[in-house]
Amino acid sequence: MKAFTIDRYGKKNGRVSEVPAPEVGAYDVLVQVHATSVNLLDSKIRTGEFKLILPYSFPLILGNDLAGVVVSVGSAVSRFKPGDEVYARPPQERIGTFAELTAVHEDALALKPRNISMGEAASLPLVALTAWQVLVETAKLKKGQKVFIQAGSGGVGSIAIQLAKHLGAFVATSTSTSNVEWVKALGADVVIDYKKQNVESALQDYDIVLNSLGPDELEKSLSILKPGGQLISISGPPTPQFAQEKKLSWVLGLVMRVLSSSIRRKAHRKNVRYAFVFMHQSGVQLDEIAALVESGIIKPVIDRTFPFEATAEALSYVEQGRSKGKVVIKLV
């Protein structure tokens, strides 16, 4: 089968090549991939940014999202059958959706929302699960609370705005001048044009901040939050609790303790809780998200679609950081 693989870490590494079809375990579902999508995570994996906590071997097939059709199922699979249209974010240790076929544990899969295309479905899993796990699972967002979602025009931000509004929150976000009206249309109540305003001077007394940017924005977010608020980052730094949950070595746990010590200390002084979220796969949560999509509450946001042969170009485009929503790769 054809797949986009890397044989070493490096920004420009990767090519479409012929590789063996995946082995299918007892609890695996073999899926013909119709579409996948590109995330910044793919770029960070390619450059080796996560090699300490995600020790992949080479050659490595990239890709963290999929939508497609079930080809066959393992002997212990009970939830899916050949012909089912599905979507998923595979387990992080078994990525590889930039390929014609991929084997996914059934617990990571869900039936594709019936009212959207394969490309639209492929754009959702990683970013929608991230938004869900920040707002529902970690923050336990309640109706009437105020949430600030950084980078509202990005992949996670565009879905998080829609989900937060559905949950009854007052939503603020940030974006560039050209995208202000666009993110308002997604449901944001307040939009900060970061080229003209400082977020920390425009917003006060927020309950939750979803941080997806760098360390400067992370620290500035503390001044937005009220006492008892929550600063939840998907871009780091990771915490000792994260190391414990992932059963990482004591050395990595110590490294993460040091990396996050400053922001945890400053958050404690302001009576704010700091948490790091590294999205995990969940077919159960994707079922919940599919229901929201089918009811029209969450709408996929796609910037561009590339053919499979242009996967390297799609990665480069996402790395520029200017896409509105997601970038999709079509295989079928």
- 154 and 264 assigned to the same domain: yes
- 146 and 265 assigned to the same domain: yes
The per-residue pLDDT for 55 is: 86
Which stretches of the chain score pLDDT less than 70?
none
The per-residue pLDDT for 322 is: 85
- 113 and 141 assigned to the same domain: no
Q: Which domain holds residue 236?
A: 126-276
The count of domains in the chain is: 2
Q: Is 289 inside any structural domain?
A: no
- 256 and 233 assigned to the same domain: yes
- For 56-82, what is each residue's pLDDT tens digit? 999 999 999 999 999 999 999 999 999
The per-residue pLDDT for 250 is: 93
Q: Is 307 inside any structural domain?
A: yes
The per-residue pLDDT for 187 is: 97
E strands within the chain?
2-6, 15-18, 28-38, 60-61, 66-73, 85-88, 101-105, 109-111, 146-149, 170-175, 190-193, 206-211, 225-233, 273-276, 302-307, 326-330
Q: Is 240 inside any structural domain?
A: yes
- 41 and 81 assigned to the same domain: yes
Q: Is 294 inside any structural domain?
A: no
Q: Is 296 inside any structural domain?
A: no
At residue 36, what is the residue type? T
- 157 and 66 assigned to the same domain: no
The per-residue pLDDT for 190 is: 98
The per-residue pLDDT for 84 is: 98
Q: Is 287 inside any structural domain?
A: no
The residue to which tokens 């940030």 are assigned: 174
Q: Is 288 inside any structural domain?
A: no
pTM equals: 0.97
- 131 and 54 assigned to the same domain: no
